[in-house]
Amino acid sequence: MFRLKGGNQLLPDTFARLLGERVRKNCKVTTLTHDAGGVAVTFTEGPDKKEQTLKGDYAVMCVSPLMIAGIQVTPGWPEAKKFALEHTPMGMQSRIVLQAKTRFWEGDTLPSINLETGNSTMGLVYECAGEVPGESCVLMGSGPPVLSAEDALAAFRKFYPGHNKDSIERAIVHEWWKEEPLAFGCERHAFALGKLARIWPHLIQPVGRVHFAGAAYDNLPWGQDAATRSARRVALAIDGV
């Protein structure tokens, strides 16, 4: 697994820093108009929610299908695209981080700490950054969107199958959606039975000069890999025109 030293957030942060004022953050898009000649996006910015419009040759929608549903698009999406956007199941979760001084599960003779728990509070736990030298370790997990660190730690102690249940020194829960409300619903779930043929590949295909990128628009299920792969696909498509 590849990571950036200092955290993967450095990747978009570096792009934003180099692009400077061309990046407008925390702007809510309200309308999108598109035709054969170009696109126009209307959005609000700042505490006074001043409405502005930007025009361009192309638009790339990098938000969840759930958020696209709140944008007025003219002309509307073709029926195949509309169905794909409306029937792509999206969700969200909090990120749980557990810190410990040692790889305590090895003392319990467990083959691995990577577990699907069946616990609704913390359904998944796995070791992260295991290649970093030292005895201390970091575990990561997933939980419901609203979760306290205390409840996450209690859930771990409940489902952990070994004896060293109290080895966790610290639990941290990142409810990222509170910081990024416009990124609501970014985790794509499994498609319902019988729906895939009507959703794929319409979900990822452009509509005229409007393209789609992000974790929802790739054949990987989610995550940074899916987001960067879809971004590359769109960049190559626009560059090749």
The 10s digit of each residue's pLDDT in 137-163 is: 999 999 998 999 999 999 999 999 999
Does 99 lie in the same domain as 84?
no
Does 167 lie in the same domain as 205?
no
Does 211 lie in the same domain as 231?
yes
The pLDDT of 200-214, averaged and rounded, is: 96
| CATH number, domain with residue 119 | 3.30.70
Question: pTM for the complete prediction?
Answer: 0.83
Give domain status of residue 227, yes or no: yes
Does 172 lie in the same domain as 98?
yes
Which of 178, 198, 231 lies at the terminal end of a domain, its last residue? 178
Residue 172 lies in domain: 93-178
Distance CA 225, CA 10 (A): 15
Q: Nearest Cα to 145, choosing from 96, 73, 78, 218?
A: 96
| CATH number, domain with residue 37 | 3.50.50.60
Give domain status of residue 8, yes or no: no
Give domain status of residue 15, yes or no: no
Does 220 lie in the same domain as 197?
yes
Hey, is 232 helix, strand or coil? helix
202-205 CB contacts, 8 Å cutoff, 24+ apart: 202/80, 202/81, 202/83, 202/84, 203/65, 203/81, 203/84, 203/85, 203/88, 204/230, 204/233, 205/81
Tokens linked to 140: 């990561």
Give domain status of residue 99, yes or no: yes
Q: Nearest Cα to 103, choosing from 60, 57, 134, 149?
A: 134
Does 71 lie in the same domain as 138?
no
Which of 131, 148, 178 lies at the terminal end of a domain, its last residue? 178
Does 149 lie in the same domain as 77?
no
Phi first, then psi, for residue 152 (nearest 5°) are -65, -45
Give domain status of residue 229, yes or no: yes
Does 210 lie in the same domain as 158?
no
Q: Nearest Cα to 173, choosing from 235, 96, 239?
A: 96
Does 151 lie in the same domain as 100?
yes
Share of the chain above pLDDT 70, in %: 99
Give domain status of residue 1, yes or no: no
Give domain status of residue 12, yes or no: no
Q: pLDDT at residue 46 above 90?
A: no
Does 224 lie in the same domain as 114?
no
Residue at token pair 């070791």: 127
Query: What confidence score (pLDDT) does residue 178 get?
Result: 79
The 10s digit of each residue's pLDDT in 124-140 is: 899 988 777 888 999 99
Give domain status of residue 5, yes or no: no
Looking at the structure of the chain, the number of domains it has is 2
Number of H helices, E strands in the chain: 6, 13
Does 166 lie in the same domain as 100?
yes
Q: 181 or 205: whose pLDDT is higher?
A: 205
Does 104 lie in the same domain as 67?
no
Q: How confident is the model at residue 111 (pLDDT cuts 50, 70, 90)?
A: confident
